[in-house]
C-alpha cells in the first residue's frame, strides 16, 4: 500500500464526510474493482490472452463468426473465476450497504463478486458469466456443458454465457433502476472503470449530487468529478473506511 500524502488524507476525509452526510449513495464499479481478486481487466496494458484484444472476442461478431474462439475465451474467463474470490474492498462495500451508507451497486462486472461478498442491491449491467443460455432457442443451458464444449441439449445450438456482448443491449430493468437511483443520489462513487464503454460511461452525469472517482488512472476523467482518488480500489476503500470510523 502506498504512503499517504497530506492531500490524500484530506481527500479521503472529504469523501468519508460525503458518505456520512449522503442520504442516498450509489456505487458504480468496473473491471478495476476485481483486478485485486486476480481477474484481469480489459484495457490495462499487460499482455492479454493469446495477444487478442478481449473487446473483439466479447462481441456479437465473434459469437456469430468465430464461435470456437468466442467459446475458448469465455471458458478461460469462467475457469479463472474458480481460483478467485471477492477481496476486502467488495466486503467493505457490502458492509456499507448493511450500515445504510450505500443504497445500491451498479456493476459492469460479470463475476458476481459483489453478491458473493454480501451486497444485496446489485444491478448487473453487463450480465453474469456464471450461467449460460442457448443463442439459438434461448433455453437455459448448463455451465458444465458450455465448459465441456457441448451444444444446447434442446436444439443442438450454440451455448453462450448470460453476459452482454459488445453489440447487444443492456438488461432493461437493471439499467432503468440504475438510472433512477443515480438521478436521486446525493453521491455517486465510481470505482475501477475506464469509462470507455457506452452507455455506462454516461451514467455518472445523471447525478445531481456529488461525484467521486476511484481508479488507478484518473488523468482523463478527473475533471468530470468533484473528487478523484488515484489508487487501487481495495486499498482506497480500506482507507476511506478508516476515515469513516475514526470519529
Ligand atoms: P476497463 O478494463 O476498460 O477499465 C478498467 C479500469 O480500472 C482502468 O481504467 C484501470 O486503470 C482501472 N484499474 C485496474 N485495476 C484497478 C484497481 N486495482 N483499482 C482501481 N482501478 C483499477 O474495464 P471497464 O471500464 O469495466 O470496461 C468495461 C468492460 O469490461 C465491461 O464490458 C465488463 O463487463 C468487462 N470486464 C469485466 C470483468 C469482470 O467481471 N471482473 C473483467 C474484465 C472485463
Ligand atoms: Zn437451443
Q: Is 107 in the pocket of ligand 1 (CB under 6 A)?
A: no
The domain made up of 1-38+86-126+170-247 has a fold known as Rossmann fold (3.40.50)
Check if 87 is active-site.
Answer: no
pLDDT band at 33 (very low <50, low <70, confident <90, very high): very high
Residue closest by Cα to atom 31 of ligand 1:
108
Judge whether 1-38+86-126+170-247 and 40-83+128-163 match in fold: no
Residue closest by Cα to atom 16 of ligand 1:
32
Cα-to-chain-centroid distance, residue 98:
20
Q: What is the mean pLDDT of residues 96-111?
A: 98
On whether the CB atoms of residues 135 and 156 are closer than 8 A, the answer is no
The residue to which cell 450509489 is assigned: 26
CB atoms within 10 A of CB 19: 22
On whether the CB atoms of residues 111 and 74 are closer than 8 A, the answer is no
Show contacts of 59-64: CB within 8 Å, 24+ apart: 59/165, 59/166, 59/167, 60/165, 60/166, 60/167, 60/168, 61/166, 61/167, 62/165, 63/135, 63/158, 63/160, 63/165
Q: Is the pLDDT of residue 149 over 60?
A: yes
Give pLDDT, residue 46: 67
pLDDT band at 247 (very low <50, low <70, confident <90, very high): low
Q: Is 37 in the pocket of ligand 1 (CB under 6 A)?
A: no
Give pLDDT, residue 118: 98
Structural domain boundaries in the chain: 1-38+86-126+170-247, 40-83+128-163
pLDDT band at 138 (very low <50, low <70, confident <90, very high): very high
Atom of ligand 1 nearest to the CA of 166: 32
Closest CA to 240 of 23, 49, 15, 42: 15
CATH architecture, range 40-83+128-163: 2-Layer Sandwich (3.30)
Q: Is 125 in the pocket of ligand 1 (CB under 6 A)?
A: no
The residue to which cell 482523463 is assigned: 220
Share of the chain above pLDDT 90, in %: 87
Q: Is 217 in the pocket of ligand 1 (CB under 6 A)?
A: yes
pLDDT band at 212 (very low <50, low <70, confident <90, very high): very high
Q: Which of 90, 126, 221, 243 is catalytic?
A: 126
Give pLDDT, residue 53: 87
**Residue 187 vs residue 44, higher pLDDT:** 187
Q: Is the pLDDT of residue 47 over 70?
A: no
Give pLDDT, residue 233: 98
Mean pLDDT of the chain: 95
Residue closest by Cα to atom 43 of ligand 1:
41
Q: Is the pLDDT of residue 45 over 70?
A: no
Please tell me whether the peptide bond between 199 and the residue prior to it is cis, using omega within 30 degrees of 0: yes
pTM confidence score: 0.96
Residue ranges with CB less than 5 Å from ion ligand 2: 134, 136-137, 152, 154-155, 157
Give pLDDT, residue 50: 78
Amino acid at each position: 500500500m502506498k504512503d499517504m500524502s497530506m492531500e490524500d488524507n484530506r481527500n479521503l476525509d472529504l469523501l468519508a464526510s460525503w458518505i456520512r452526510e449522503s442520504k442516498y449513495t450509489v456505487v458504480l464499479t468496473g473491471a478495476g474493482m476485481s483486478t485485486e481478486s486476480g481477474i484481469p481487466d480489459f484495457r490495462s496494458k499487460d499482455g492479454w490472452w493469446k495477444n487478442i484484444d478481449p473487446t473483439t472476442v466479447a462481441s456479437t461478431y465473434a459469437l456469430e463468426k468465430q464461435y470456437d474462439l468466442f467459446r475458448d475465451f469465455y471458458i478461460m474467463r469462467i475457469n479463472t473465476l474458480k481460483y478467485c474470490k471477492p477481496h476486502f474492498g467488495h466486503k467493505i462495500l457490502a458492509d456499507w450497504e448493511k450500515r445504510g451508507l450505500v443504497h445500491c451497486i451498479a456493476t459492469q462486472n460479470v463475476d458476481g463478486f459483489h453478491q458473493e461478498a454480501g451486497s444485496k442491491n446489485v444491478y448487473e449491467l453487463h450480465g453474469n458469466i456464471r450461467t449460460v443460455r442457448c443463442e439459438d432457442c434461448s433455453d437455459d443451458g448448463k455451465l458444465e456443458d458450455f465448459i465441456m464444449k457441448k451444444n444446447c441439449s434442446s436444439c443442438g445450438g450454440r451455448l453462450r454465457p448470460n453476459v452482454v456482448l459488445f453489440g447487444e443491449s443492456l438488461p432493461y430493468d437493471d439499467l432503468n433502476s440504475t438510472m433512477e437511483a443515480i438521478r436521486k443520489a446525493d453521491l455517486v462513487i465510481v470505482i475501477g472503470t475506464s469509462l470507455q464503454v457506452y452507455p455506462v460511461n454516461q451514467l455518472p452525469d445523471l447525478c445531481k449530487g456529488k461525484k467521486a472517482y476511484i481508479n488507478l488512472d484518473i488523468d482523463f476523467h478527473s475533471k468530470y468529478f468533484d473528487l478523484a482518488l488515484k489508487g487501487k480500489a481495495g486499498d482506497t476503500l480500506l482507507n476511506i473506511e478508516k476515515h469513516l470510523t475514526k470519529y
